Structure formats: C-alpha cells, structure tokens
C-alpha cells in the first residue's frame, strides 16, 4: 500500500543544533524535494551526492523531485574503501568548482558509506551546509543515517576523522530495499539485531522470526523493522547526541567489529563484522561475569537466522585485528573499551559505565577461540 501514511519521529539534536525529523514511508524517493525544502527553507540549490551504483538507480528521481530541471549529481566509486579523505577532498573541490555557495545543500543518497562521506562534506564545506539523508540500504536506514555522525576512514581505522552534523531531515523509503542484493539485506539486519540486543529482546527475536521475509525484501516486513529500529535509535540519540554517555550502547559489537573489518581491508562488510563483534563481545561479557550465560549462543542463533557470520573468516590475521583495537574511538588511557550486555535486551551499566576495558588476555582468548 504505497499510499499508507508515513511514520515520523522527532530527534533532539542537542549541542545547539536544531532538532530534526525522520520520516519512513513508501514513495519518499519521489518526494525528497518537498521535504528538503520544508526542512531547510534557506537552501536554493540542492546537490545530490551518491555512489555510482545508487546514482544509476535513483539519482534522476531524487533530482527531479528537487527541481523540475534537475540538480547537480556528484558521484564517486562505490565501496567502503572509497570512504576516505581523498574522496572527501575530491567532492569538496567539485563543489567549489561548481560555485556552490552557503545557500546550497547536500542530499546524501545511498548507503552508510555515502551518508558518512556526504555528511562529512556537508559538515565541512564552507564551515557547514545543510544535509538531507536519504538512505537506500538497510544498514543506513536503521542506523547510520540517524544520529548526525559523519566521517571517513583512515589507514589507522574506521571513522577516525569526522564531525557531528545533524541532518535537516532523514527520509527513508523502504521500497529501495528491493534493489539490494540478498547479502546487503542481511548485512543491514545486524544493526537491527543490535538494537534489540541493547534495548528490547522481544524486538531482536522478532527480527529473527521475520528473517525469511526480511531477506526476501518484503516491503511490509522491512518497513516494520525499520520503524522498530529507528524508534530505538532516535530515543537513544535524543538523550545523548554526542556520545557522552548513553549513546555508547549503540557501539555494542562495534569495537571488535570495526577491528575485524579494518583487518580484512573491508573484505568483511560492516554488518558482517558487527555481527561477529556482537557474538564475541557477548562472550567477553560472559567471561568477565556480567553477561547472563547463554546470551552469546542466543545472539549467534538470531544472527545465523538472518544469514550473517558469527565468527571471523578463516585466514583473517587476528593479530592485525588486535592492533586496530588501539585506534578505536572508544580508547581511553590507551585501552579499548567494550559495551557489554547483562542479558539480551539490556546493557550492563555497573558503576554507571556504558563501556569498559577488558583484560587484554581475555580479549585475545575470545578472539582465538572464535
């Protein structure tokens, strides 16, 4: 039912930034212009940034919705390996060459790579111009497009250079999932399971029960799942926009996940790495005694139901992954910190801490035993 009413969420940006809305509804790809104009009325020129794959699928529709004559579309090569400072510089230089002024705005059209990269371009171009996030992958719909984090990867690790730059609005059209390969659908479901693991066990289990429909790209199932995940993330982000406390729980599975992803040189995708990271970090929690025994096994079963890996791939250099832990954003006093569960659906916050260091020997043992 394409004419069903969109679902809307309000996110409190904090830090002096204006609050913004997240809208979930079918057909929004053809209405980006109207929502963008309402959210950022000072913008007179919109510029779409998309990777070359997504641009071929959706850029013309989005551009036409922004202006009858279309708008500029800047593309870059698809893939995590292109989310880097060189690509940021190239896109910024192209904006300058096009004469884009402070009355311009960016439409970030695509998956998590595009949202992070185009968002960072918007955050830094002329010291900041508005950005509208239009996610087209499940991982971006349920997670990365919401929250205002932008950034690029460096040889030292993921997302180590970036900025908080809340979007003017986030527009999620679940029909875009229909063009995703099955592996990319599965990848996005890692973040949905994560949201349930940290806040709502019933939601995590529902994702597992709906695995067949979600992996097949059933729009109704995807829409319900996206709404459920955005409800979790928007509530967390509204309480802690700049990751000073509670927002750290959204990093469950990401400390080890990012290290595995970087160590594989991004052959392991983000969602796959986070899936493995969640299982390993649940085992860390069980080893140190704060996570209910059996939690890791239940998480493993849920992730396998959505066709995600739950162990590092054979041949991955685990010593290299351990080295990447030292450059994780959550490092304090030289030690990586981990978000640990008390049970499925709840994060352990002993001592008021949402993330904590774990003995290096325990981390190494859990990695090796995987």
Catalytic residue among 80, 82, 158, 191: 191
Catalytic residue among 251, 298, 300, 337: 251
Catalytic residue among 223, 243, 248, 286: 243
Is 84 among the residues known to form the active site?
no
Is 251 among the residues known to form the active site?
yes
Residue partners of 30: CB distance under 8 A and separation at least 6: 61, 64, 65
Catalytic residue among 158, 233, 287, 356: 233
Catalytic residue among 2, 127, 333, 361: 127
Catalytic residue among 254, 300, 337, 356: 254
Instruction: Looking at the chain, list the stretches that DSSP marks H as alpha helix, in order from N- to C-terminal side.
Output: 32-39, 52-54, 60-66, 85-97, 112-124, 138-139, 182-199, 201-209, 211-215, 219-239, 254-263, 270-288, 295-305, 318-325, 360-369
Is 206 among the residues known to form the active site?
no
Catalytic residue among 149, 165, 300, 337: 149
Is 149 among the residues known to form the active site?
yes
Q: What angle do CA 170, 171, 172 make, to 5 degrees?
A: 115
Catalytic residue among 205, 270, 337, 356: 270
Tell me how far apart the alpha carbons of residues 172 and 140 are, in angstroms, rounded to a whole number. 9
Is 270 among the residues known to form the active site?
yes
For residue 103 the two structure tokens come to: 């009355």
Is 127 among the residues known to form the active site?
yes
The edge-to-edge listing of strands for the beta sheet with 45-51 is: 7-11, 20-24, 169-172, 131-135, 104-110, 45-51, 72-76
Is 82 among the residues known to form the active site?
no
Catalytic residue among 26, 165, 224, 258: 258
Catalytic residue among 247, 283, 337, 356: 247
Is 329 among the residues known to form the active site?
no
Q: Give me the active site residues, please.
A: 127, 149, 191, 233, 243, 247, 251, 254, 258, 270
């Amino acid at each position: 039912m394409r004419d069903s009413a969109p679902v809307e969420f309000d996110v409190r940006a904090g830090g002096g930034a204006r609050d913004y809305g997240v809208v979930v509804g079918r057909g929004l790809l053809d209405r980006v212009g109207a929502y963008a104009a309402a959210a950022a009325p000072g913008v007179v020129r919109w510029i779409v940034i998309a990777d070359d794959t997504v641009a071929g699928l959706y850029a013309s529709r989005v551009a036409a919705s922004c202006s009858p004559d279309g708008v500029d579309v800047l593309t870059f090569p698809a893939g995590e390996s292109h989310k880097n400072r060189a690509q940021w510089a190239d896109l910024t230089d192209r904006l300058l060459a096009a004469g884009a002024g402070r009355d311009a705005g960016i439409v970030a059209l695509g998956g998590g790579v595009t949202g992070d990269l185009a968002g960072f371009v918007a955050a830094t171009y002329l010291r900041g111009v508005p950005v509208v996030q239009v996610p087209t992958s499940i991982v971006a719909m349920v997670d990365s497009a919401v929250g205002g984090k932008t950034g690029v990867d460096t040889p030292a690790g993921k997302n180590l250079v970036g900025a908080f730059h809340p979007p003017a609005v986030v527009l999620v059209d679940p029909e875009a999932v229909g063009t995703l390969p099955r592996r990319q659908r599965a990848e996005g479901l890692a973040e949905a399971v994560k949201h349930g693991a940290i806040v709502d066990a019933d939601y995590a289990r529902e994702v597992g029960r709906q695995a067949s429909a979600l992996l097949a790209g059933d729009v109704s199932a995807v829409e319900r799942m996206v709404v459920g995940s955005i409800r979790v993330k928007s509530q967390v982000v509204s309480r802690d926009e700049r990751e000073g406390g509670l927002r750290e729980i959204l990093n469950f599975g990401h400390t080890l996940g990012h290290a595995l992803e970087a160590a594989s040189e991004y052959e392991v995708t983000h969602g796959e790495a986070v899936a493995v990271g969640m299982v390993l970090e649940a085992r860390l929690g069980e080893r140190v005694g704060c996570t209910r025994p059996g939690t890791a096994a239940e998480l493993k079963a849920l992730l396998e139901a959505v066709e995600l890996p739950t162990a590092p791939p054979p041949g991955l250099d685990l010593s290299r992954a351990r080295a990447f832990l030292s450059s994780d954003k959550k490092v304090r006093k030289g030690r990586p910190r981990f978000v640990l569960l008390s049970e499925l659906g709840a994060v352990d916050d002993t001592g008021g801490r949402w993330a904590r260091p774990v003995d290096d020997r325990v981390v190494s043992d859990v990695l090796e035993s995987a």
